[in-house]
Amino acid sequence: MESSKPLKTSHKILACIAVFALCPALHAEDAVAVPPSQVEAPPAANTEVQPFTKDEMMQGIASMRERQNQRIEAWGSTLKPEDFERSWFGRILKKPKRQEVCGLYQDTVNETIKLALQNKERLPEADQKLLQDRNAFIQSLGYKNNLVDTQMGFNCRLK
């Protein structure tokens, strides 16, 4: 089962995903504990935070879409005939399965917000302000009124 459609990218804030794709150490399970005796002093205070490059943005957006599509594909491969019910419009997913689909989209949004906050310093000032309002952030990802049209006979509201 393919995803309903890829995320729309109407805002530069998705650039924060690039760091996730480029820096696997951001995954907690990949982190390695380093003894304090081996920790180096930070470099001089003149280090400047570099804004995201266009290549980083494009790679991050592609990575996010790919992860979302993989999640939806994996979920779709587990569907069975008893996961559907009949309605006036044909067969539709039962409520628990609809909730699972919405959870996939919500997880992607949550991951994106988390990464944006972790990389806030690298975002333009306008995008940093956008992070203060979760609903505005979700809408900047292309979800009008925070709704996902799953194209499966139901919508998901993102929080």
pLDDT at 102 over 60: yes
118 touches 19 (CB < 8 A): yes
Find the mean pLDDT for residues 118-126: 87
Question: Which range has the worst mean pLDDT, 4-13, 51-60, 69-78, 122-131?
Answer: 4-13
Q: Which residue has the higher pLDDT, 42 or 111?
A: 111
Q: Which two tokens stand for residue 10?
A: 């109407």
What average pLDDT does the structure give for the chain?
Answer: 76
pLDDT at 112 over 70: yes
Q: What amino acid occupies position 137?
A: F
| Sign of the C-alpha dihedral computed for residues 32, 33, 34 and 40 taken in this order | positive
In whole angstroms, how large is the CA radius of gyration of the chain?
A: 19
17 touches 112 (CB < 8 A): yes
pLDDT at 124 over 90: no
pTM confidence score: 0.68
pLDDT confidence of 89, banded at 50, 70, 90?
confident
